[in-house]
């Protein structure tokens, strides 16, 4: 009897592994053939699967794991648990949308730390409560879109979505998610994938997706797609097929310590001049994406290169001075700066 129970437990584990590696599901006959047992044995085993993990049977007779209910078995050390806590808190602070899944992660984390580190457990649980209490960020459309994209990504199935442009026009696309990336600077999230039309890799701001529907059509992510490589030169999320642009900045000595203590971009090179100022250089895919960060330093940073970015910021400085009642004379290049300013507005305002 004990040997039979042991064989059954082993089969249950094998069935679990099979279904995890086949998100499309398998028929009872396919499972039996792969495990080299009679189909009736698998039929009896399936009746007990719900005691171990959630499964469902599709209209085509395929058995599949309910991936949204499936619980992964993960164990953390104290410091790994703290890393998960910090990551969840960072996510909560870098988006303006409530995500109950992040709060659920923290509650589970708090429960697992009760015996090991009760003071940290209490703090993690309090963080979960703060996340859930922020009703102003509740956006059921965003959450449903994110959940559907996550489901599609995990199953390898396309979606049909509608996307609203900054000018309020709405377009419909078939889309294959390759990667989901948060964007702290914009407090948003983006999804990168294959868009039809135009049958090319494109990025959607998830907050602009109005509806999304999971399709039965499968897709595969190309073997040569590497999200890290795609975003290597991006300041945040914007990448292009063009060569990256050299950005050269000079920071005032009073902010030198702040600039030097942080790595702002993987390609950056920093040096401190004799007067204490910091010379900063980086290769960025799209300089416009840096503009809010550069603006944030105010008069403590000067753009040296490229000239177009320098001219654009000079025009902004003049307009800002006028906004506060300072009389600043126009200088050569102002017309070009005005044009670039409108170009920036088209991007950052959209």
Flag whether 337 is in a domain: yes
What is the token pair recorded at 213?
Answer: 């529907």
146, 206 contact by CB (below 8 A):
yes
Flag whether 237 is in a domain: no
- Specify the CATH number for the domain of residue 172: 2.30.30.520
Q: Judge if 283 and 255 occupy the same domain.
A: yes
158, 215 contact by CB (below 8 A):
yes
Helix (H) or strand (E) run with residue 157 in it: strand 157-164
Helix (H) or strand (E) run with residue 138 in it: none
Q: Judge if 116 and 155 occupy the same domain.
A: no
Q: Judge if 52 and 102 occupy the same domain.
A: no
Question: Domain range holding 159?
Answer: 151-218
Query: How many distinct structural domains can be found in the chain?
Result: 4
pLDDT in tens, the chain (350 residues): 667 777 788 888 888 888 888 888 899 999 989 888 888 888 888 888 877 888 888 888 898 888 888 888 888 899 998 998 888 888 777 777 888 888 888 899 999 899 889 999 998 898 888 888 765 578 889 999 999 999 999 989 999 999 999 899 999 999 999 999 988 888 889 999 999 999 999 999 999 999 999 999 999 999 999 999 999 999 999 888 889 999 999 999 999 999 999 999 999 999 999 999 999 999 999 998 999 999 999 999 999 999 999 998 888 888 888 899 987 666 555 555 454 444 444 443 43
* The last residue of a domain, from among 65, 100, 118: 65
Q: Judge if 267 and 338 occupy the same domain.
A: yes
Flag whether 231 is in a domain: no
Q: Judge if 127 and 163 occupy the same domain.
A: no
Q: What is the phi/psi pair of residue 135, to 5°?
A: -70, -20
* The last residue of a domain, from among 44, 65, 86: 65
Which residue is associated with the tokens 């000595």? 253
204, 175 contact by CB (below 8 A):
yes
Farthest CA pair distance, the chain: 94
Flag whether 186 is in a domain: yes
Q: Judge if 82 and 61 occupy the same domain.
A: no
Flag whether 287 is in a domain: yes
Q: Judge if 249 and 316 occupy the same domain.
A: yes
End-to-end CA distance of the chain: 67
315 Cβ contact partners less than 8 Å away, ≥ 6 residues apart: 333, 334, 336, 337, 338, 340, 341
Q: Judge if 51 and 125 occupy the same domain.
A: no
Flag whether 187 is in a domain: yes
Q: Judge if 92 and 124 occupy the same domain.
A: yes
Q: Judge if 116 and 177 occupy the same domain.
A: no
Q: Judge if 333 and 301 occupy the same domain.
A: yes
Flag whether 214 is in a domain: yes
Give the model's pLDDT for residue 263: 96
Name all contacts of 102-108 with Cβ < 8 Å and 24+ positions apart.
Answer: 102/131, 103/128, 103/129, 103/131, 103/132, 104/128, 106/131
Question: How far apart are the C-alpha atoms of 314 and 323, rounded to whole Å?
Answer: 14
DSSP single-letter state for residue 102? H
Flag whether 72 is in a domain: no
- Specify the CATH number for the domain of residue 56: 1.10.10.10
* The last residue of a domain, from among 218, 235, 260: 218
Instruction: Say how many residues make up the chain.
Output: 350
Give the model's pLDDT for residue 331: 58
- Specify the CATH number for the domain of residue 309: 3.30.70
Cis bond before residue 306 (omega within 30° of 0) = yes
């Amino acid at each position: 009897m004990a040997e039979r129970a042991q064989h059954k437990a082993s089969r249950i584990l094998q069935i679990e592994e099979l279904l995890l590696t086949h998100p499309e599901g398998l028929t009872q006959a396919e499972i039996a053939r792969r495990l080299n047992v009679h189909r009736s044995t698998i039929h009896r085993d399936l009746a007990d699967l719900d005691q171990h993990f959630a499964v469902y049977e599709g209209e085509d007779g395929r058995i599949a794991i309910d991936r949204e209910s499936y619980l992964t078995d993960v164990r953390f050390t104290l410091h790994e648990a703290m890393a998960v806590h910090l990551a969840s808190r960072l996510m909560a602070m870098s988006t303006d949308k409530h995500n109950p899944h992040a709060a659920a992660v923290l509650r589970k984390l708090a429960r697992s730390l009760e015996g090991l580190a009760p003071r940290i457990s209490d703090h993690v649980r309090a963080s979960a409560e703060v996340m859930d209490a922020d009703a102003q960020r509740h956006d059921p459309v965003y959450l449903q879109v994110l959940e559907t994209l996550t489901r599609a990504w995990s199953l390898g199935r396309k979606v049909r979505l509608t996307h609203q442009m900054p000018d309020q026009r709405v377009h419909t696309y078939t889309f294959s998610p390759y990667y989901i990336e948060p964007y702290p600077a914009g407090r948003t999230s983006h999804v990168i994938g294959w868009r039809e039309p135009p049958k090319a890799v494109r990025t959607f701001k998830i907050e602009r997706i109005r509806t999304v529907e999971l399709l039965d059509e499968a897709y595969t992510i190309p073997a040569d797609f590497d999200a890290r490589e795609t975003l290597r030169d991006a300041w945040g999320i914007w990448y292009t097929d063009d060569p990256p642009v050299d950005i050269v900045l000079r920071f005032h000595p009073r902010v030198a310590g702040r600039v030097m203590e942080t790595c702002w971009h993987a390609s950056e090179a920093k040096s401190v001049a004799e007067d204490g100022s910091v010379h900063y250089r980086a290769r960025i895919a799209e300089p416009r994406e840096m503009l809010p960060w550069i603006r944030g330093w105010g008069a403590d940073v000067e753009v040296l290169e490229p000239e177009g970015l320098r001219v654009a910021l000079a025009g902004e400085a003049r307009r800002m001075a006028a906004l506060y009642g300072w009389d600043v004379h126009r200088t050569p290049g102002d017309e070009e700066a005005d044009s670039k300013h409108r170009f920036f507005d088209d991007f950052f305002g959209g």
